[in-house]
Amino acid sequence: MTAIADLRDTLTAVLGPAGVISDPVELRTYECDGLAGYRVVPSLVLLPTTTAEVAAVVRACHRAKVPFVARGAGTGLSGGALPVAEGVVISLQRMRALVEVDPANHRAVVQPGVTNLAISRAVSAYDLYYAPDPSSQQVCTIGGNVAENSGGAHCLKYGFTTNHVLALETVLPDGSVVWLGGPSPEVAGPDLRGLMVGSEGTLGIVTGVVVRLLRKPEAVHTLLADFPSIEQAGNTVTDIIGAGIVPAAMEIMDQLAIEASEAAVGAGYTLDTPAALVIELDGPADECGDLFEAVQELCHRNGTTKIRVAADDAERGRIWTGRKAAFAAVGRISPQYFVQDGVVPRTRLAEALGTIAAMGAEAGLRVANVFHAGDGNLHPLVLYDDARGEHERAEKLSKAIAELCVDLGGSLSGEHGIGTDKACSMPVMFGEDDLATMDRVRRAFDPDGLCNPGKMLPTPRLCGEKPGPYRPHPLEADGVIERL
């Protein structure tokens, strides 16, 4: 019997027939995540319902030396949950219990398959919420959020997943179960919890999460301001930060993104404005009101042509719908598109956008821009038409944009992760020794290389014999940092 057939039988005994998928048609449902360009059909999909079952599955895989890939909702945008052909997928979708809501201690204990939004909904009655808010929050799971260290529009002020999880119950790659972190941020010894967050499912499978909850702010103020240029919108953001104000969110959309969004949801954005800036402030009512006036003043000083202030929650919701719909809406103005997720130091935004526009023009492709302006996290959308043979050009442009971000002193990814998609670009951002050190840590957890193999770190198999030349970090070239 093959290892997989053997596993199927062993695990059917543990999980029951409903917990094991081996039908080829059903297996195809799991062939990709949100990055549909990469597809691999797994050999087996397992649907455990308890930590003990996850541990049993991992132990069995470990014994049989079969690779395994964890999967939440499959909304990931970097091919992190891409299956391995001769391996299994462990779906956490059936682990959806809110184990404990503890309003007195401002925390909740949840299973990994609970959606991000379900947490905030469950604690709303206590005036609490879970702060990180990825646009995909209605469907993505907290386990996926932990694996990707997901952020959202409000992470400029509130931080990312790593700042909001206290403890993680984790099944390690050998099947043993440990809690990383603890009941308080004060722990004894190294912060293994923090290492697990953002590790893209390569260090173990998270089966329980203790999240920190925040008190809802007393006041929220939101505005949408039009600007004659992206640069003026960007300068406004600089001035706001210069004034010592940290808004909950600052988001910029360019004309193409606005056009797409309006076509899809009609949130009332100005169609012919070159740039729109969404600003949200929250906090204690009096101070928040004062700061909101200061922010409007800064918009005017930078030449805003129109400010729309959300009068109530419904209007705030519409402004956010326009922003959050932009991604998917790009489908309205282009048959296909690639999304990038690079980060540049905020002060180099104008330069980055100028270069991206020039690169787009040279490639003969349109690029729409939606970005988190407060932290420099770009989301350039490269539009293309497969029917016109533009796929390859678009893919090249998309990759070049991510690498440009590194050249400008930033990062390949602000929130979507490296996964399969950007693993071969890692040598652009990190040197050989940096990557070798990450690999040492990975092996400390997973000496057999079974836990989501082929993701995040470049391998010869994935990237060719040489995973890419080492290039000096651009900040090194500028003399800002030094390798040695």
Ligand X SMILES: Cc1cc2nc3c(=O)[nH]c(=O)nc-3n(C[C@H](O)[C@H](O)[C@H](O)COP(=O)(O)OP(=O)(O)OC[C@H]3O[C@@H](n4cnc5c(N)ncnc54)[C@H](O)[C@@H]3O)c2cc1C
Binding site for ligand X (CB under 6 A): 33-34, 69-77, 80-81, 92, 112, 134-136, 140-141, 143-145, 147-148, 150-152, 200-201, 205-206, 327-328, 415-416, 452
Min dist CB 163 to other proteins, Å, is: 5
Please report, as residue ranges, which positions from 63 to 122 form the binding site for other proteins (by CB under 8 A): 103-106
Shortest separation between residue 446's beta carbon and other proteins, angstroms: 10
CB of 12 to other proteins, least distance (A): 30
Q: Is 434 in the site for other proteins (CB under 8 A)?
A: yes
Which one-letter amino acid corresponds to residue 146? V
Residue 434 — φ and ψ, nearest 5°? -60, -50
Residue 376 binding partner per list ligand X, other proteins, none, with a CB distance cut-off of 5 to 8 Å that depends on partner kind: other proteins
Where are the extended beta strands (E) located within 182-332? 205-212, 214-215, 219-227, 249-254, 275-283, 306-309
Q: Which is nearer to ligand X, 1 or 36 (CB)?
A: 36
Beta strands in 335-462 (DSSP E): 336-339, 367-372, 377-384
| Helices within 364-407 (DSSP H only) | 391-407
State the minimum distance, in angstroms, from the CB of residue 72 to ligand X. 2
The interface partner of residue 98, options being other proteins, ligand X, none and the CB cut-off 5 to 8 Å by kind, is none
Question: What's the min distance (Å) between Cβ of 457 and other proteins?
Answer: 8
Instruction: State yes or no: residue 399 binds other proteins (CB under 8 A).
Output: no
Which of 16, 441, 461, 464 binds other proteins (CB under 8 A)? It is 441
Which of other proteins, ligand X, none does residue 76 bind to, with CB < 5 to 8 Å depending on kind? ligand X
Beta carbon of residue 477, minimum distance to other proteins (angstroms, whole number): 14
Question: Which long-range contacts (C-beta less than 8 Å, at least 24 apart) are formed by 236-240?
Answer: 236/277, 236/298, 236/299, 236/302, 236/304, 237/277, 237/346, 237/373, 237/374, 238/346, 238/347, 239/298, 239/301, 239/302, 240/279, 240/295, 240/298
**Binding residue (CB under 8 A) for other proteins from 130, 160, 227, 338:** 160
Task: Map the footprint of other proteins across residues 231-260, applying CB under 8 A.
Answer: 238, 241-242, 244-246
The three-class DSSP label of residue 379 is strand
Within 164-203, the residues that bind other proteins by CB under 8 A are 172, 176-180, 182-195, 197-199
Rounded CA-CA distance 43/204 in Å is 20
Residue 218 near other proteins by CB under 8 A:
yes
Q: Which DSSP symbol is given to 115? A: B
Q: Which of 73, 442, 452, 453 binds other proteins (CB under 8 A)?
A: 442
Site for other proteins in 283-322 (CB under 8 A): 283-287, 290
Name which of 141 and 222 has its Cβ closer to ligand X.
Answer: 141
Bridge partners of 211? 108, 165
322 DSSP 8-state letter: H
Tell me the residue nearest to ligand X as measured from the CB. Answer: 144
Q: From other proteins, ligand X, none, which one binds at residue 144 (CB under 5 to 8 Å depending on kind)?
A: ligand X
Output the CA–CA distances (angstroms, integers) from residue 118 to 42, 237, 240, in the order listed.
29, 32, 33
**What are the phi and psi torsion angles at 371 (to 5°)?**
-150, 155
- Interacting partner of 112 out of other proteins, ligand X, none (Cβ under 5 to 8 A depending on kind): ligand X
Task: Give, in degrees to the nearest 5, the angle at Cα 4 between 44 and 114.
Answer: 30
Does residue 415 interact with other proteins by CB under 8 A? yes
Q: Select from 483, 456, 458 the least CA-distant residue to 471.
A: 483
Cα–Cα distance, 32 to 83 (Å, whole number): 7
